[in-house]
Amino acid sequence: MDTQNITLMERTPVPKAILTLSIPTLLSTIVSLIYNLTDTYFIGLLDDPIQLGAISLAFPVFMVIQAIGNVFGNGAPSYVSRCLGAGEQKEARRTSVVATYVSVAVTLLMTVFCFLFMEPILRVLGTSAETVGPTRQYVQIVAGFSVFMTLQAVLPALLRSEGKMKEAVIGMVIGTGLNIVLDPVFILLLHQGVAGAAWATIIGNVFAVIYYLSIYLRGKTSLSIFPRDFHPSRRILQEVLKIGLPSSISQIIMSLSNIMMNNLASGYGDYVISAYGVAGKLTTMVFMITIGYSSGYMPFAGYNYGAGNYKRMLSAMKFSLISGTGVCLALLIPFLWLAPGFLRLFTSDPRIIDVGVRFLRAYAWVVPFMAIQMTVMCTFQAVGDGIRSMLLNLGRQLLFYIPLLYLFNHLWGLNGLLYAQTGADICVTILAVLIGLPLLHKLSKKQSEREALDDYPAGQIPIKNS
């Protein structure tokens, strides 16, 4: 790592260091969310519920592709940060190369699978005779060029792991800017509908990846993507997968839960699918903004944990919890007061607006507590605790949301569907507190032991009584 990044990790005051790392990541996340909202917005301008529904139905496939990138985009940076903190530069470089090439290979396999089983996939997504055509168009384009989506997740994540937040954000801005410019061209001027939205997304990803590759090829990073550094090992794969795989599985389960929700919602009318798809964009925005802010804390925590500086890590955890909660409180505004206006950006159908507003108002109850979930989860990732990280990742969807989805739907019908995610997030927040407190105690104990050792003169180590 360069001197500036080492100073940031080791000596810069904790609040300033966390904000320096978190704000660019947060901006990157916001840019990414604008990127996802743009497609829905311009499709909404067509005032065609079928195409708007197709975007919502195809979204689970989009999430699965992202999940592949997140296996390596979440798992590798955690290990890289710890390696850099421990001074293991060579291992960090090898990890970055392995993450890049293995993620590409897995994505190519997924692409082949998607085209071989396209028709069964479309049926599982819940398409109707009207929505199957545009949904197929979108899925074919996105799946066919999915390798660029994977690299667009992995390459900037590795840059963030060594503190290069600015470079990571620039690439995201390039991709999003192109998407925003090309969406109206393809959708409105060339009349390609959802296919145009897919092409705008892919082209934006391609140019973002080209920018990221230029950073690595010009040696502007301490990490690598060169084949000569490709030396996979059991340790690297274990460290990457134990953090990245739970995160990926969580996103795949989230995709599955979206499919389940769409199938249940279709029983109340196609307009409910559209309403959930549009309103879900805002709930995803809040969730991803919280993740983005907490993710800036993660490499800092991982570096200082690897360096044995537990006091600095604990200070960062406390600051992330407090400041992240402040961010979440600010995010209540669009749920409580701006919900109708947000829905009207995408549709003029009063039924879609009504159901969407009801869903957003229901979700407002848990928004203030999102930072607790994310900070605790990122802390477990930073210390390499894949099991508890997986528990929180899977808890939100598999343990709570999917069961509550069917239970609430059975008990209260459409209102139950609207409150299922709220109930799930309340449960996972309680879980985060219960498993986070022992971790906090463990880190505090390590810090006390470290301070006790520092009190002894150089060369003298206390001997514990057996």
Give dist(CA 364, CA 186) in Å, integer.
Answer: 35
Q: Phi and psi at residue 88, in whole multiples of 5°?
A: -95, 70
How many other CB atoms sit within 10 Å of the CB of residue 433? 12
Residues whose CB is less than 8 angstroms from the CB of residue 409 and which lie 6 or more positions away in sequence, other chains included: 264, 416, 417, 420
pLDDT of residue 210: 95
Give dist(CA 43, CA 53) in Å, integer.
Answer: 10
Query: Alpha carbon of 88 to those of 77, 114, 160, 344: distances in Å?
Result: 14, 39, 17, 52
pLDDT of residue 462: 53
- Mean pLDDT of residues grouped by 10 in the chain (466 residues)? 70 86 72 71 81 81 82 83 82 90 92 92 83 89 92 88 80 86 90 89 93 89 85 87 75 79 81 80 78 80 86 91 88 80 83 89 87 90 82 82 92 91 92 92 86 62 48
Give dist(CA 152, CA 175) in Å, integer.
Answer: 9
* Nearest to 59, CA basis, from 202, 246, 254: 254
DSSP H or E stretch at residue 124: helix 118-125
Give dist(CA 334, CA 324) in Å, integer.
Answer: 17
In a 13 Å sphere around the CA of 386, the CA atoms on its Cβ side amount to 19
pLDDT of residue 466: 39
